[in-house]
Structures are given as C-alpha cells and as structure tokens.
Amino acid sequence: MSEEKSLNFLEEIIEKDISNGLKTIQTRFPPEPNGYLHIGHAKAITVNFSLADKYGGKTNLRFDDTNPVTEETEYVESIKNDIKWLGYNWDAEFYASDYFDTLFEYAVKLINKGLAYVDDSTSEEIAELKGTPTTVGTDSPFRNRSVEENLKLFSEMKEGKYKDGEKVLRAKIDMSSPNMLLRDPIIYRIKHAHHHRTGNKWCLYPMYDFAHGQSDSIENITHSICTLEFVPHRPLYDWFIEKLEIFPSHQYEFARLNLTYTVMSKRKLLQLVNEGFVSGWDDPRMPTISAFRRRGYTPESIHMFCEKIGVARRENLIDVGLLEFCAREDLNKKAARTMVVLDPLKLIITNYDKNSSEILKGENDPANPDDTRDVHFSSELFIEREDFMEIPEKKWFRLAPGKMVRLKNAYIVECENFIKDDAGNLTEIHCRYIPESKSGSDVSGINVKGTIHWVSAKHAVDAEVRLYDRLFTEENIAAAEGHFSDYINPSSLIEVNAKIEPALLNAKVGEHFQFLRKGYFCVDKDSTSQKLVFNRTVTLKDTWVKKSK
C-alpha cells in the first residue's frame, strides 16, 4: 500500500466531475502565435497534458489566432517544435481561425436574440461611456437598434463596407456591472488585415472573449485551464455559452509562473530581443523553451521542474535555483565527464621526459568505471588558473608551493616552483610527479586531499566556451523600481577560449557534457568544423566558493 499522493486543486475538480458522471476529459493548450513559448508556457502545457493523460483524456493544440496584425506563421512553427521537444503529443491541431464562419453565425444568433448590437461610436467614446471601476457606465446611443438594422449593419461590416474602427459589434449585457468586462464588451472589430491562415477572406475578427470559450465549446473541451488574470472573464465566458446554447465548457484558473531574476511577459521578452539585450529568442539567457534547449536543459529537467513547483491559485515567485537543481539532477545522470580548462595556466612536470607522452584512461561516468576514453598525458599540461594559490588560504586542497594534488585520471604531482612574468602574472607552475601514483595502479601510499582537472598542452584543442549567468541582477524584477532593463546583468555572458581534450572533437550539436569540476555544458549550434562552441548550462554546486567568501 503506497501513500496516496495529494491532489492539486484541478485534479480534485476533475475527480469530482468524474464521480458526478463525466465520462472523458478534454483539455487544450491555446497559445497565441505572436511570440515564442517560455517556461511559464511549459507549466501550462504540463498542466494541460498531464491532467488529460492522468484521467485518460486528450489535449488539443489550438492556436488562438484572432488578431491578424500580431500573429505570424514563424511563431506557429516554433511553438509546435517546442511542444514536441518537451515530449508532448497533441491530439488535434486547431486554429481559432478554423471557426471564423461558425463564430460569425454565433454573432448573428446573438443579434437575433437581441443580445448584440452594432455600435458606431469611436474607440474614445466607447471608453468614455464605459465608466470606471467605481462609476457605472452609460448606454451607447446605438444600443437599441433593431435586430434588422443590426443584422444589416453587421453583414455590411463583413462585406467590407466600413473602415477599421468605424463600427464594432458589442454584446448587450449590463453597462452598470461592477465587472468591467460585462459592460457591453466588443465582440467583433473591423481589421482590414491579412491573416496568416485565412488570408484576405475576412475584414472583421472576433475578440478573445468571443472566440476562446466558443472554440472550447466547439472542441468539447471539458476543462479549459488558463491563468488567473482571466478570472474576471469567466462570467463572460459562461454568458456566451449560455446564450448561444452550446456545449458547456468550463474555465478554471491557476497562478502563472514567476521566476526570480527573470522577466516572463511576451512584451518584455520581445523588447529584450528587439533592443539587442540578447541575440534572439533562443539566446541561452532567455527564459524561452528554445533558449533552454540551446543552453542545454533537457525536457526531463523541465518536466521535473514543473512537477516540483506544483499548481495552485496563489501568486508565486519560484527560485530560479530550483530550475538549476533540476538541470543538475538530470544532467548528472546523462552527461559524460570530460576535462576542459577554462582559464589555462601552464604546468610543467620537471621529472617527466619532454619528448614522451602516454595514453591514460579517462572516466566518462563515475557510476560506471568501465566506461572510459583515451586521455593524453605529457610533460606540459594546462591546469585551471584558479587551482593554484601562491599563498594558500586555510583548508586549501589544491595546488600551492610544496603542496601535492592528484591530477584526475593521472598522477599525483607536487609543486616545486612557479614562474611569473615581469608584470607579476603567473606563467608557469613547475611540479614533479610521482610515477608510482598512476590512477588505477597507485602504489605510492600517498593520500592527497585535492584532485584537479587538466589537459595535455600539446594535445589540447582550442574551443570557445560561453559562460552564462542570470540575465538580471534583481531577484524580483516586477517589484523593483524603474525599468527592467536597469537590472541587466553586465556579466550574464562571458566568452572564454578554453583548452579541451581532443576526444571532444567528435561532439555533436546539443550533446551534453560535464566539464569536470566546472559544470554542465552543451555544444552550441554556432560550432563550426574549425571551432567548437560550448554553452554552460549550469555550474556544479560549489560549497567551496561559498565557504571561502
């Protein structure tokens, strides 16, 4: 008997519906194709797909493409690609624009029932008459047109007789409602614009509120799950379904994802791209799905993250460290180990034959010692500059004058000397090695505290490594004063020329590695046959850095 895992509020709703006789459930993921999917969408995708999956239902992909001026096919393709990459398979692929004919008929039905009217007022006049949250609105002078006149005008709107903004169709609800959305909302507006799917067929398009719920209904969506800012729309959602007498889909809302050190709104992301703060939608510092993919996050790590953050109705600000934890958790199992020196410092082994070299076994997977690769060893190596301290601080396990360390997969060395240039910069470390301390056959009897990574200087290959850090310096950007661009982290990207093992030359774009002691990295698409480019996905957890501060 295993412990029952507690249900989230949506699962509770669904189980109640099922116990009340609901046979199957149907959900949908409804992106607007006007931008790239981000990690917040990943949460919504996970919620919709996993709920349907758990209760034996299906999930549709439906593009909410009711605004032709902002929507593009490029976005449709990227969205589909990202959902597939996350590992989800939608049942049917729909577009709100598939329903434009039906929606138009629905509008006619509303007019016939005396529940919609054509308004000639200007945008400003409509806003003026709408009132404010604390004062009631006023009826439009066109509110009581006859059904016949409304029908005639509406079909003329469709025929293109009027210019943009000249007329709108409004639902006739209640101009004094405390819910602003119920004050005769606009349901159709004229836009003489080319639509990415319907071309120039239409010159008037339904608004969100007159498309979304009806689309849900047409697809027999049982649970229409959206974010909290749509709560005030729910009465309207229900009103249209009731008046139209169509399948009763129901809307449920959850709190959207917020991440520390991250902006999430499409508007701000678009601004980051357009104003050149990042190189594009898939710049690895962006919170988009395509950026996480490029940075080296796996679908599994994102699933784990979505699982861990849960779903509820309260505002939240998730520590981006949790996402990093999920990446490490997954990559630790998957990424082959390799030795890469990011900031090279020459180490010369004084008692090793200059003209000689040997091939050692490098561990690819600490959980499986038999999984090895060839690693070249010679008298001149590169080690990490930060692994040597001229005057070691207390509890320093790495190299320092007179100190010994293990070279991973190789020998123990003892530092005998170091050389500086005229400017006082370290240029070389001189060590002697202990021949009988060879990895795997160590009979030296010496125990050292520290192990460092290295590459053989004459075998090493140059590679570009992009060290990414968070894009912003402020934890809660929404709550911070000023503009979000005031908080851009100036060192969110540092490019270094690293020394890599030649074994890495076979690496494929997207392949994951752990650079020993440095972090998880993945091969970037900018790599060429001349030079590999690696992105740092995430650093390793480092308790030493924290302690020594």
Partner RNA sequence: UGGGUUAUGGUGUAACGGCAGCACUACAGAUUUUGAUUCUGUCUGUCUAGGUUCGAAUCCUAGUAACCCAACCA
Residues 448-477 that bind RNA (CB under 7 A): 450-453
Comparing CA positions, the residue from 467, 466, 487 lying closest to residue 476 is 487
Give yes or no: 266 in active site.
yes
Which tokens in the block code for residue 325? 């934890």
Q: Residue 162: phi, psi to the nearest 5?
A: -120, 155
Q: Residue 243 and residue 248: Cα distance in Å, rounded?
A: 11
Residues 329-368 that bind RNA (CB under 7 A): 329, 332, 337, 363, 366
Of positions 175, 480, 488, 540, contacts RNA by CB under 7 A: 540
From the list 13-21, 139-147, 203-211, 244-252, the region that binds RNA by CB under 7 A is 203-211
The yes or no reply on residue 23 touching RNA (CB under 7 A) is: no
Of positions 38, 328, 466, 536, contacts RNA by CB under 7 A: 328
Which residues 6+ apart lie within 8 Å of 382 measured at CB? 341, 344, 345, 346, 347, 454, 455, 457, 460, 499
Q: Residue 396 and residue 536: Cα distance in Å, rounded?
A: 26
Residues 380-409 that bind RNA (CB under 7 A): 395-398, 406, 408-409
- Selecting among 172, 266, 408, 499, the annotated active-site residue is 266
The yes or no reply on residue 321 touching RNA (CB under 7 A) is: yes
Residues 255-314 that bind RNA (CB under 7 A): 255, 308-314
Residues 168-197 that bind RNA (CB under 7 A): 168, 178-181, 186, 189-191
234-245 burial string, b = 16+ CB within 10 Å, else e? bebbebbbebbe
- Selecting among 256, 334, 346, 373, the annotated active-site residue is 256
Q: How far is the CB of 421 from RNA (least distance, A)?
A: 26
Q: Is 246 exposed, middle or buried, given 0-12, 13-18 or 19+ CB atoms closer than 10 A?
A: middle
Of positions 6, 19, 274, 529, contacts RNA by CB under 7 A: 6
Give the residue carrying structure tokens 């034996």: 56
Q: Residue 528 and residue 393: Cα distance in Å, rounded?
A: 41
Of positions 26, 37, 52, 64, contacts RNA by CB under 7 A: 64
Give yes or no: 152 in active site.
no
Residues 24-43 that bind RNA (CB under 7 A): 30, 32
Instruction: Find the helix or strand (DSSP H, E) in which 98 lies.
Output: none
Give yes or no: 16 in active site.
no
Q: How far is the CB of 249 from RNA (least distance, A)?
A: 15
From the list 40-48, 104-112, 241-249, 324-332, the region that binds RNA by CB under 7 A is 324-332
Q: Residue 287 and residue 470: Cα distance in Å, rounded?
A: 10
Q: Residue 306 and residue 247: Cα distance in Å, rounded?
A: 31
The yes or no reply on residue 245 touching RNA (CB under 7 A) is: no
Nearer to RNA, 11 or 416 (CB): 11
Which tokens in the block code for residue 285? 């510092």
Of positions 2, 19, 20, 134, contacts RNA by CB under 7 A: 134
Nearer to RNA, 344 or 519 (CB): 519
Catalytic residues: 32, 256, 266
